[in-house]
Amino acid sequence: MSYTIKETRATASKLHEVDINNIVMGHAFTDHMFICDYEDGKWQNPRIEPLHEIPTHPAAMALHYGQAIFEGMKATLGKDGSPLLFRPDENAKRLNFSADRMGMPLFPEDLFVEGLKRFLAIEHHWIPTSEGSALYLRPFMYADEAFIGMRAATKYKFIIFASPAGPFFSKPIKLWAETKFIRAANGGTGEAKAAGNYAAAIRPTELAKAKGYDQVLWLDARDFEYIQEVGTMNIFFKIAGKWITPNLGGSVLAGITRMSVIDLLRDKGYEVTERPIAMHEIIEASEQGSLEEAFGAGTAVGIAMVEEIGYQDMRITFPAGNPVSEDVKETLNQIKLQEVEDKFGWIVPVELGIPQPR
Ligand SMILES: Cc1ncc(COP(=O)(O)O)c(C=O)c1O
């Protein structure tokens, strides 16, 4: 379906105020936003406007009952200067999976992708080109009906805004396997990209950081034994030459990087199994010398090598080097920059009026 997306341009760009190639993610924002309202049972008035604050009623339901979901994606610049999206249809699908779980209206998936393309056609000058950089895109939806009471809201906003982002973890990371707090239990909201999941992770992450770790490694809610995922990443281990990653058992977010990495590893000839992984298996592999590599995989971070897992009073360490993880990281980056053939068909170029070479 083709949509009419009204465009109102900013009178001046703030681009000259920031060094987009030397920036930490999340501090600077581009000039525009895509916005669409849900009212009277339908999505309406999709538009691009100068980035602005949105008036919020104190009774806006997202603030009280937490109907808020989001996505995270990155745009890079292709060789011919076109912005490139990575599997945007998967983000559109996942947003709707989250919306369904949280009792929110589904957003048309073709409008999600069309909105991103139109937004990037305006904001492409904001895509950084330094190594490991990209334009981080944040599509999200929240309930903005003013109402007190526990039911699904009848008014929502869907918005896309963007922030130029440099590389995230340049060094291997240390993970704290958490045995007091949980992120998700089966039947809960862990499979959805719901804002509340992240709220509940903030304090445990602060405590892990105070112990010297970068992120929490979440364990299952019943036994604190089976590995789920990391703060904003899925996790992969290489034990005795084979790759394993926790299965999506109902409490793990279905990462788009995760699904891509599984394909890449298999394409490189590795066996990859999705199954429950117990902490004691990791400890035993470490004791036997068969624990070879581990990495976290997610859009914001890319591939982050793991050098240590702290668990109770143990420190499980990984050998330096990570040859396969480095290779996967490199291939994924090359695909995202059109430096190698995109044989999986993951890249979606955005057409510009006049592309400018990188
Ligand atoms: C909890 C969680 N797990 C995993 C991921 C990785 O997902 P993706 O690869 O789609 O970014 C993310 C990031 O979105 C996340 O927030």
Closest C-alpha to 162, from 118, 215, 104: 118
Residues with CB under 6 A from ligand 1: 72, 229, 232-234, 253, 255-258, 298-299
Q: How far is the CA of 353 from the centre of ligand 1 (A)?
A: 33
Q: How far is the CA of 257 from the centre of ligand 1 (A)?
A: 8
Please tell me the residue having the least CA distance from ligand 1 atom 2: 232
Ligand 1 mutation target, pool 169, 178, 299, most atoms within 8 A of CB? 299
Please tell me the residue having the least CA distance from ligand 1 atom 5: 233
Residue 354: predicted pLDDT: 52
Separation of alpha carbons 107 and 74, rounded Å: 20
Residue 79: predicted pLDDT: 87
Q: Which residues pair with 215 in a beta bridge?
A: 175
> In the chain, which stretches have pLDDT less than 70?
353-358
Interacting residues of 202 by C-beta distance below 8 A, sequence separation 6+? none
Please tell me the residue having the least CA distance from ligand 1 atom 13: 232
Which domains are present in the chain?
Answer: 6-167+339-349 (3.30.470.10), 173-321 (3.20.10.10)
Q: Which residues of 84-106 are buried (b: 16+ CB within 10 A; e: fewer)?
A: bbbbbebbbebbbbbbebbebbe
Residue 170: predicted pLDDT: 77
Residue 167: predicted pLDDT: 83
- CA 300, 258, 129: angle at the middle one, nearest 5? 35
Separation of alpha carbons 240 and 219, rounded Å: 23
Neighbours of 108 (CB within 10 A): 18
Q: How far is the CA of 355 from the centre of ligand 1 (A)?
A: 31
Q: How far is the CA of 217 from the centre of ligand 1 (A)?
A: 13
Interacting residues of 258 by C-beta distance below 8 A, sequence separation 6+? 234, 236, 245, 297, 298
Residue 1: predicted pLDDT: 74
Q: Give the ligand 1 atom nearest the CA of 197.
A: 1
Residue 83: predicted pLDDT: 96
